[in-house]
Amino acid sequence: MKLRKLQPDEHIRTRKLWKEIFTEDTPEFLDYYYSAKIKDNEIYVIEEDGEIVSMIHLNPYHMRVKDKVYKTHYIVAVATDERYRKQGLMRQLLNHVTQVMADRGEPFTFLMPADKAIYKPFGFEFVYEQKQDKVVGKCSCDAKLEMIPATENDCEKIANFANQMLQEYDVVTRRDSGYYETLLLELASENGGILLAKREGKIEGVFCYAYNGGEDKHFVMREPIFRNEQDLQHAIFHLTGNEIDRALCTGYGAEEAKPMIMAKVLNPEFDLDLKNAKIFINEEV
């Protein structure tokens, strides 16, 4: 077996394994991922007779930590062909990629675990909790409040608004126009988009949404960033169209926050205590 980093023109070869392992992902999402995300990510694989049997994707994000910005990588698509499990392939890949990132001077790496027990032996710990609650919206009486679908032309303004609103956090994914342009593509693959709450032309809030068309059909509202809660409640109402149906909101609600993101510090000189820092991390891949 051979462990290696794929060349960019080889990235598409991993789609077969992704489709086999992550059966919950739709063809539309895979089309998005394999057209947008593989342009600038890194993929490490283990091959057997030229066939990819295990993989890890490293998706780049710039993280603002206090007053410094670092290039980091979000680990996704950790997968091994069922025929080759329990042979230590994932261990080889995780040890290899974390060493690669450490050698480059990256301060930490992070992931959203399917099972925390898989990653704890590798030094990953939960650093970010998030509320996830199904909530009912409330119609606003403010006639000046508008809900407007965002386009690529809005992405720079959205980024400026989000970065301003997230200044209080110690660790946050830095937003820029490219961040939201890519996010628009991802959300479109999930029957969603980005909506702006505006009052007299000024952005008062922004949120991402997708539509879950499964048995339990509902809207999913992600990354709500609002100046006030009343406008956020109206945004939920705008999605559902009434004050009865519930939307699943991540980052808002009355439910207790749940552990969501694990991270591993890669360099000892990085002295921020991630477990006790105030963190706001992206939810997309």
pLDDT per position as a tens digit, 159-209 = 999 999 999 999 999 999 999 999 999 999 999 999 999 999 999 999 999
What's the pLDDT at 73? 97
pLDDT at 173: 94
State the pLDDT at residue 158.
Answer: 97
Question: Which pLDDT belongs to residue 217?
Answer: 77
H/E/C letters for each residue in the chain? CEEEECCHHHHHHHHHHHHHHCCCCCHHHHHHHHHHHHHCCEEEEEEECCEEEEEEEEEEEEEEECCEEEEEEEEEEEEECHHHCCCCHHHHHHHHHHHHHHHCCCCEEEECCCCHHHHHHHCCEEEEEECEEEEECCCCCCCCEEEEECCHHHHHHHHHHHHHHCCCCCEEECCCHHHHHHHHHHHHCCCCEEEEEEECCEEEEEEEEEEECCCCCEEEEEEEEECCHHHHHHHHHHHHCCCCCEEEEECCCCCCCEEEEEEEECCCCCCCCHHHCCEECCCCC
Q: How far is CA 174 from CA 128, 140, 181, 196, in A?
A: 16, 31, 14, 19
Phi and psi torsions of 245, nearest 5°: -70, 145
How confident is the model at residue 253, as a pLDDT? 86
27: how many CB neighbours lie within 10 A of its CB?
9
pLDDT for 157: 97
pLDDT of residue 160: 97
Q: Which of 213, 212, 185 shows the shortest CA–CA distance to 33?
A: 185
Using N-to-C axis directions, what is the helix angle for 177-188 and 155-165, rounded to 10°?
110
- What is the C-alpha to C-alpha distance for residues 43 and 216, in angstroms, rounded to an integer? 34
For residues 59 and 74, the answer to whether their CB atoms sit within 8 Å is: yes
Can you read off the two tokens belonging to residue 188? Answer: 């479109």
Cβ atoms of residues 55 and 93 within 8 Å: yes
For 78-110, the pLDDT digits (tens) are: 999 999 999 999 999 999 999 999 999 999 999
User: Who contacts 163 (Cβ-Cβ below 8 Å, separation ≥6)?
Assistant: 174, 175
Low-confidence ranges of the chain (pLDDT < 50): none
Domains of the chain: 2-128+260-280 (3.40.630.30), 132-250 (3.40.630.30)
